[in-house]
Amino acid sequence: MVLLAGMFTSHVRADERDNMTILTVANGPVQIYDTYLAPGKYVLKLADNPSDRNIVMIHNRDQTHLLGTVMAIPAFRLEVTDKPEFRYWETPAGAVKALRAWYYPGATYGQEFRYPKHLGQAAATGS
C-alpha cells in the first residue's frame, strides 16, 4: 500500500532547478535511506550538480543543518500533479515508514530511494 502526499506532506513551490519541497512528517518517524526524520518539517532539495540530478539533500526546516544526502535513481509517473507527491513502501506494523519516491509538482520524473535488501524484502509488495 502506498501512502500519498496528502497524509504526510505539505509543499512550497520554489526554484524548479533544485525542486525544493517541504516534507511534513506527522505520524511517527519517516526513513529516507539511512536518514531518520522525527515528526516535524524538513526541506528536500536536489544538489546543484549538473552531471547528476539524483542527489537529494535533506535539511531541517530553516535549512541551517544538512541532515543527510542520498543518492536516488530516476522514477517516472504517468500522471502529473500540481502538488508534490510522496510514495512510501509498505512496511510491517510498528516499523518506521520508508519513503520510496518523491515527485516535484508538474514533473513526470522524480527520485526513488533505494534501501538495503532486508527492507526491500519486507516491502516487496509496495508499489
pTM above 0.85, yes or no: no
Q: What is the pairing mode between strands 35-37 and 40-46? A: unpaired
Residue with cell 526546516: 61
* Residue-wise pLDDT tens digits, 67-107: 999 999 999 999 999 999 999 998 888 899 999 999 999 99
How many domains are contained in the chain? 1
**Is 127 among the domain residues?**
no
Q: Is residue 68 part of a domain?
A: yes
CB of 44 closer than 8 Å to CB of 56: yes
Answer yes or no: is 15 within a domain.
yes
Question: How many CA within 13 A on the CB side of residue 55?
Answer: 7
pLDDT of residue 113: 96
Contact 67, 25 (CB under 8 A): no
Asked whether residue 35 is domain-assigned, the answer is yes
pLDDT tens profile 34-49: 999 999 999 999 999 8
Q: Is residue 56 part of a domain?
A: yes
* Cβ atoms of residues 62 and 49 within 8 Å: no
Average pLDDT score, the chain: 84
pLDDT of residue 16: 74
